[in-house]
Amino acid sequence: MSQLAIDGGQPYRTKPFPARTPFGEEEINLVTEAIRSQNLFGPSGGKVKQLEEEFARLYGVKHAVATTSGTAAIHTAIGAINPNPGDEIITAPITDAGSIVPILYQGCVPVFADVDETYNMDPADVERKITDRTAAILLVHLFGNAARVDVISEIARAHNIPLIEDCSQSHVIKYKGRYLGTWGDIGTFSFQQSKHMTTGDGGMTITNREDLAERMAWFRDKGWTRKPGIRHYVLLGLNYRMTELQGAVGLAQVKKVRSVVERRMRLGHYLTELISDIDGLTPPITTEGSEHGYWLYALRTDAWSATSFALALSREGIGAGAGYTGEPIYLCMEPLSDRRTFGKSSYPFDGVYNQHTVEYVKGLCPRAEDALEHIVTIGINENYTEKDIGDVAGAIRKVAKLLPKG
């Protein structure tokens, strides 16, 4: 082990790591039930309704509304609060496009709050970004770790602004004893294949407010009330209905998602224990009072470039990537950076509804930009053993010892 694999040495790990196996016999049995029912249409079936009830029960809320994806869940949440075209929604600079697309499609302007040391939105910058055009705060809980949602919820209440939580990477994570997704007006979740709980694709919104639950149910069903009598559409919505196949898989998944997260917590914390003494590396910082579900293990490299460290680690047999999204979403998403949205227009950045200029340029969120230059992401899953984690740590130590700094 005196030479890095990238320089011709023997890789630290040659055996493949355990793959995720999220689906089992219960999913197969429930999907079979759905197919044998001869009805896979969610509104007239039983699986989706039951999943909504079970999901609401898990989170201790009154209402859950199923959708086709996490992106659809966020769009449904924004549709429920009913902002005006040109309104602003404050959100995270380190996130997937799925957090941003619904803002644009609802005719609103994304405004980005910089991050703190956990890579989550900094409450102080959230408050600085509030204007008289702010229609909502879309708070992203990144990598399985809570943002300081108690502080941000207080800010939202003080300014009478709805708070939507994006928990796509942070299923059943407790912050100060309370699940993420239950602090704001609406919590949103993704069931995409990589998430702690998955139906392949799919999503869910939760709330305790009857009015928002009703609007979300309408919005995901084209505005259709589905009341007896003449068909009636009460708002402009989309077809984001979940099918009975997704609902069936979700019913099995909802029973085991907490155990999946608890296993990842133990593995992620163990990896941190094994590498916390390495100079020039900073393991993930867990927000005080939060659990961490390690959807990704985000390691900060200050003594090496993230690109060179990730490449060297990958050659050692440890899957690693540099920079997560590479650049903040406002720089790597051309509809924002180049204002290329609908046809030849730049809507909602131009026209009668937008009375101010928004520029998505380098320097907008300097802490986020700096973080993404130094983050190395490592994927772990609930099937890893402590021996597997030991090998991840061993490879990190090898790279840190032998890779030239700078």
DSSP-assigned letters across all residues of 334-395: HHHHS---STT--TTSSSTT--S-----TTSSHHHHHHHHHEEEE---TT--HHHHHHHHHH
Structural domain contains residue 2 = no
β-sheet bridge partners, residue 258? none
Residue type, 161: I
CB 73 within 8 A of CB 187: no
Exposure b/e, 42-71, CB count within 10 A at least 16 = b: beebbbbebbbebbbebbebebbbbbbbbb
Structural domain contains residue 33 = yes
pLDDT tens digit at each of 406 positions of the chain:
689 999 999 999 999 999 999 999 999 999 999 999 999 999 999 999 999 999 999 999 999 999 999 999 999 999 999 999 999 999 999 999 999 999 999 999 999 999 999 999 999 999 999 999 999 999 999 999 999 999 999 999 999 999 999 999 999 999 999 999 999 999 999 999 999 999 999 999 999 999 999 999 999 999 999 999 999 999 999 999 999 999 999 999 999 999 999 999 999 999 999 999 999 999 999 999 999 999 999 999 999 999 999 999 999 999 999 999 999 999 999 999 999 899 988 899 886 666 667 889 999 999 999 999 999 999 999 999 999 999 999 999 999 999 999 8
CB 203 within 8 A of CB 48: no
Structural domain contains residue 336 = no
What confidence score (pLDDT) does residue 356 get?
62
What confidence score (pLDDT) does residue 394 get?
98
The structure's pTM equals: 0.97
Assigned token pair, 110 = 């994304």
Assigned token pair, 174 = 């407790």
DSSP-assigned letters across all residues of 231-266: --B-S---B-PPPHHHHHHHHHHHHHHHHHHHHHHH
| Residue closest to 281 by CA, chosen among 195, 401, 189 | 401
Q: What is the CA radius of gyration of the chain?
A: 22
Find where tokens 């108690």 sit.
150
The helix or strand, by DSSP H or E, that contains position 218, with its residue range, turns out to be helix 210-219
Structural domain contains residue 290 = no
The helix or strand, by DSSP H or E, that contains position 299, with its residue range, turns out to be strand 297-301
| Residue closest to 204 by CA, chosen among 320, 303, 76 | 76
Is residue 284 reached through a cis peptide bond, with omega within 30 degrees of 0 on the bond before it? no
Structural domain contains residue 302 = no
What confidence score (pLDDT) does residue 353 get?
61
By residue range, what is the domain housing residue 104? 25-254
d(CA 265, CA 297): 11
What confidence score (pLDDT) does residue 406 get?
82
Q: Residue 57 is part of a domain; what is its CATH number? A: 3.40.640.10
Structural domain contains residue 299 = no
d(CA 271, CA 268): 5
Strands (E), 85-217: 88-91, 109-112, 134-140, 163-166, 174-175, 178-179, 186-190, 203-207
Angle at Cα 8 formed by Cα 3 and Cα 9, nearest 5°? 40
CB 242 within 8 A of CB 68: yes
What confidence score (pLDDT) does residue 345 get?
87
Q: How many domains, the chain?
A: 1
Helix axes 47-59, 25-36, angle to 10 degrees: 140
CB 174 within 8 A of CB 290: yes
Structural domain contains residue 358 = no
Assigned token pair, 133 = 């055009």
Q: From residue 90, give the alpha-carbon distance in Å to each of 297, 332, 362.
A: 26, 18, 18
Q: Quick count: other Cβ atoms within 10 Å of Cβ 387? A: 7
What confidence score (pLDDT) does residue 355 get?
61
Q: Which residues contact 151 (CB under 8 A, 6 or more apart)?
A: 123
Structural domain contains residue 354 = no
d(CA 122, CA 118): 9
Residue type, 284: P
